[in-house]
Amino acid sequence: MKISQLFTPLALFAASALTLSSCQEKANVEVKNEVSETTINQIKALGFTAAGAQKVDGGVLVEGDILLTNEMLASKPDYNMLRVGQDEQYRTTNLVGGLPRTITVRVSTSLPSAYVTATDEAIRRFNAEGLRLSFRRVTSGGNIVLSAAPSGSGYLASAGFPSGGNPYGQVLVNSGAIGTANASTYIATILAHEIGHCIGFRHTDYMGRQYSCGGSSVNEGASSVGAIHIPGTPTGPDPNSWMLACIGSGSNRPFNGNDVTALNYVY
């Protein structure tokens, strides 16, 4: 979904199209980011939404903030999903292994200090759940590194999925678009969302992103991956999940009960 103003009531976590300075510039960007029909078919075969897909370095950005690498596009992995009611928690079979395990997270100096505060809060939220996967912020190295997105990026943040039993190693953050206000609430929610992708979670409203993003329903189906319902979770929509595709500017989404169920189910 594209929106012309960044901080509308339903701002995408990572797919808000930034207003460009001229029609010509917009045309140039669209040609540069054009996705081929072959790639669109690969995206759909993996069970992702192809609408709004963007070409980026190393692959394609789909569903607003998920990077599908060229290797993933060319493969046929077996994806599984965790269903929470009618609006589902999803995860890939590419999860973090070697549990129990501590994942280190580093905030690049290319990001404002507010992102250190936000990262600490995101880490606190995960660690408070007592999972077999814990997180610790470091100042060098890091299994996951939060860095500034390339200049002119048309998304707010992006991340990918685990591979080889390790978390996806990078979260690109467009701090100029997100800003520095509400570090321990709004920004922390965005970073926790992206870390959620890094450890294997997909969007809660994958099957109907209009639920959090507005607009028309987009559902590419689940491909051949199937779904597993988590017992004890509600059968109605879940308006507060940390893994919903979109969030209002300044909003805060700590883990709700369904998120906790899904996190404990996986980790």
Please report where in the chains the tokens 């292994």 appear, as a residue: 97
| pLDDT tens, position by position, 107-159 | 999 999 999 999 999 999 999 999 999 999 999 999 999 999 998 887 889 99
Domain residues of the chain, as ranges?
11-15+78-266
Residue 217 φ/ψ, nearest 5 degrees? -70, 135
The DSSP line for 94-108 is ----SSSEEEEEEE-
User: What is the rounded distance in angstroms from the CA atom of residue 130 to the CA atom of residue 197?
Assistant: 19
| pLDDT tens, position by position, 249-266 | 888 999 998 889 889 988
Give the pTM.
0.74
CATH architecture of 11-15+78-266: 3-Layer(aba) Sandwich (3.40)
What six digits make up the tokens of 202?
């997909």
| pLDDT tens, position by position, 153-193 | 878 899 988 888 999 999 999 999 999 999 999 999 999 99
User: What is the rounded distance in angstroms from the CA atom of residue 17 to the CA atom of residue 155?
Assistant: 7
Please report where in the chains the tokens 């369904």 appear, as a residue: 258
User: What is the rounded distance in angstroms from the CA atom of residue 135 to the CA atom of residue 6?
Assistant: 30
Residue 165 φ/ψ, nearest 5 degrees? 80, 5
